[in-house]
Amino acid sequence: MNDAPLKTPPDERKLNSPSAEAAAPLDIFAPFRSAAPEAPFVVAQLGLSLDGRIATQTGESRGINGDAALDHLHRIRAQVDAVVVGAGTIEADDPQLNVRRIKGKNPARVVIDPTGRVGSSGKWLARDGVKLLLVSAAGWTPHGAELVRLPLVDGLIPPRAIIEALFQRGLRRILIEGGARTISAFIDAGCVDRLHILVAPVIIGSGKTGLDLAPIARLDQALRPKTDVYPLDGGEVVFDCDLRRPAA
Ligand SMILES: NC(=O)c1ccc[n+]([C@@H]2O[C@H](COP(=O)([O-])OP(=O)(O)OC[C@H]3O[C@@H](n4cnc5c(N)ncnc54)[C@H](OP(=O)(O)O)[C@@H]3O)[C@@H](O)[C@H]2O)c1
């Protein structure tokens, strides 16, 4: 990965609000472009409240982030080949998982649903010409989606096997969009290159926490990634964590 400050392309200048002069020379999407073509590149995103929540106790997450962070999420979607969510997010949000807030190409949509609980309707199944994949240990898939059948190992489809299966289908740049259980499993498996944490100035005070990684006994075992910070309009902030490089 190249450390040199890179010129910010015009369509990414929105990230660099007047209050973000220090971040202006950085280009948050440079790692997406410079990633080696012969290997997968995996980014995960979390839209978090100030108190580290991704949703209320009842599972509501829409409205945590404002326009600037949502624009950023759509910009990430436009940079990847596939967007991946867990069955819990499909049930809670019925997300479209496409690119609407900016101009850009829709990525393939991938749902991890080991037991086939998401059903045969849902906005992710819209017929808009993109590839639809259901990753499952069961044999069923909704009409229009390709089944990626992978076995459970200790109750989990190994994240590495999922990334490999997507890569074999030509899906190299992959966004793990949520929710907490899905992202946590991919981070625990060492499968995530970059983590974009989109913090919004809201305190929920209860509800679902953003990550639930394998427990550690000591703080020196905690992840301390090299992190760049990008203030956005509306008081939101993107923390761009490089999970392949520890902070100096
Ligand atoms: N703020 C944000 O950025 C954001 C983004 C997305 C979602 N959300 C919120 O997050 C909540 C949902 O998160 P969640 O953690 O409950 O659910 P989730 O991560 O969306 O889905 C978890 C489920 O997906 C399946 N799954 C995912 N990875 C798997 C793997 N490697 N192997 C086997 N199964 C796998 C499992 O289904 P089974 O249970 O069937 O085994 C698992 O329980 C919702 O409230 C949603 O609104 C927030």
Q: What is the pLDDT of residues 176-232, one digit of tens each?
A: 999 999 999 999 999 999 999 999 999 999 999 999 999 999 999 999 999 999 999
Q: What is the pLDDT of residue 15?
A: 52
Q: Report which protein residue has its CA nearest ligand 1's atom 41.
A: 114
Q: Look at residue 101 and give its three-state secondary structure.
A: coil
* pTM of the predicted model as reported, rounded to 2 decimal places: 0.91
Q: Give the tokens for residue 239.
A: 């923390």
What is the sign, positive or negative, of the torsion defined by CA atoms of 230, 51, 59, 241? positive
**Kindly report the CA angle at 192 between 190 and 194, in degrees rounded to 5?**
135
What is the greatest pairwise CA distance in the chain? 52
- Between the CA of 89 and the centroid of ligand 1 the distance, in Å, is 5
pLDDT tier, 4 (very low <50, low <70, confident <90, very high otherwise): very low
* Cβ neighbours of residue 161 closer than 8 Å, sequence gap 6 or more: 150
Amino acid at 203: I
Q: Does CATH number 3.50.50.60 belong to domain 53-211+224-246?
A: no
* 107 in contact with ligand 1, CB cutoff 6 A: no
Residue-wise pLDDT tens digits, 92-111: 999 999 999 999 999 999 99
Q: Which of 67, 64, 86, 87 is nearest to 75 (CA)?
A: 67
Q: What is the pLDDT of residue 114?
A: 97
Amino acid at 163: I
Q: Which of 182, 187, 238 to mutate to test the pocket of ligand 1 (most atoms within 8 A of CB)?
A: 182
CA 53 – CA 73 distance, rounded (Å): 17
Averaged pLDDT score across all residues of the chain: 91
Q: 113 has which bridge partners? A: none
Q: What is the pLDDT of residue 240?
A: 98
| Strand 53-55 versus strand 41-48 pairing type | unpaired
* 111 in contact with ligand 1, CB cutoff 6 A: no
Dihedral, CA atoms, 116, 120, 123, 126, nearest 10 degrees? 120
Residue-wise pLDDT tens digits, 7-59: 333 344 445 444 444 444 579 999 999 999 999 999 999 999 999 999 999 99
Asked if 136 and 153 count as a contact pair (C-beta separation under 8 A), the reply is no
What ranges do the domains of the chain cover? Answer: 53-211+224-246
CA 215 – CA 240 distance, rounded (Å): 23
CA 60 – CA 73 distance, rounded (Å): 18
Residue-wise pLDDT tens digits, 155-190: 999 999 999 999 999 999 999 999 999 999 999 999
